[in-house]
Amino acid sequence: MTVAIHWEAFFQVLGAALVGTLLVVGFYALGLRMLVRAGRVPVVTPAEFTDAITVISDKEAKRAAKAAAKAARKSPLSEAQKSLALVAAYACFAVCTAAVAAGILLIVLK
């Protein structure tokens, strides 16, 4: 019993996976950058797990939040530019969501 490899189909799937990955990662990174430019620096508090090592202390988390707030106050952008950056960030996240949803639909419908 031999298995025939369909190279054309393999490279189509490879190309689609690479393009999809670049699309999602690129737009997510751009969305985060626009979010920071809009003055909305995402500060994530550390999760507490039982029997796990805490990567960041509460003191470090408070310091990071304070630094983010200070950076937001020092932004040279006008309010209109910040609003535009926020809209661009949400648009980038929407593109990421659409790309992931399309990938899931392709998997489910095939």
Take residue 42 and report the two structure tokens written for it: 């995402």
| pLDDT tens digits along 20-63 | 899 999 999 999 999 988 888 776 665 666 556 656 777 887 88
Question: What is the C-alpha to C-alpha distance for residues 91 and 81, in angstroms, rounded to an integer?
Answer: 15
| Domain assignment present for 8 | no
| Domain assignment present for 17 | no
Question: What is the C-alpha to C-alpha distance for residues 34 and 42, in angstroms, rounded to an integer?
Answer: 11
pLDDT at 92 over 90: yes
85 vs 1, 37, 53, 68, CA distance in Å? 58, 6, 36, 17
Number of domains in the chain: 1
| Domain assignment present for 86 | yes
**What's the pLDDT at 94?**
96
| Domain assignment present for 85 | yes
Take residue 29 and report the two structure tokens written for it: 């990174």
* Residue bearing the bigger pLDDT, 71 or 106: 106
Structural domain for 87, as ranges: 27-109
* Mean pLDDT value across the chain: 83
pLDDT at 102 over 70: yes
* Sign, Cα dihedral of 31, 36, 39, 44: positive
Confidence of residue 1 (pLDDT cuts 50, 70, 90): low
Q: Report the candidate in 108, 91, 106 with the shortest Cα–Cα distance to residue 27.
A: 91
| Domain assignment present for 18 | no
| Domain assignment present for 13 | no
